[in-house]
Amino acid sequence: MQVSKRLVGAATVLAAVAIVMAVLAPASLATKAKPSVSLRATPITLKVGQTVTFTGAVKHAVAGQRTVKLWVIGTKKATVKARATISSTGVFKITAKAAKAGPVTLRVTYRVGATTFKSNKVTVTITS
């Protein structure tokens, strides 16, 4: 009888500890943070032949996944215009020369396995 009471007592203590740990555990331990991508352009209005700089960051980048792609979107078919490597702090920089007048909308993508994370859209206006 004495042994079974000890086992029941130990099981009760273990169950109580498990419940407390589940309640107090931070959310970051339960799920990994997903990557997020941001994009900026400077200047947003420029003339044909001038250079525009795209900067951004990937938060929660995955080790070994160090590339982002700059896409021109809003056309019938989106096309990759440039690639950049993410620094150890998660930032990237892409420069491009404006070739043709008109508004251009761009976005950066960051791929991890089969999942693609997209940045905000940025529109650059190019004048002649």
0.75 surpassed by pTM? no
Give the domain 36-127 fold: Immunoglobulin-like (2.60.40)
Question: What's the pLDDT band for 127 if we cut at 50, 70, 90?
Answer: very high
Per-residue pLDDT reduced to its tens digit, 67-116: 999 999 876 777 889 999 999 999 999 999 998 899 999 999 999 989 99
Domain boundaries, the chain: 1-31, 36-127
Cis peptide before 43 (omega within 30 of 0): yes
| φ, ψ dihedrals at 62, nearest 5° | -95, 135
Half-sphere exposure of 53 (CA within 13 A, CB side): 5
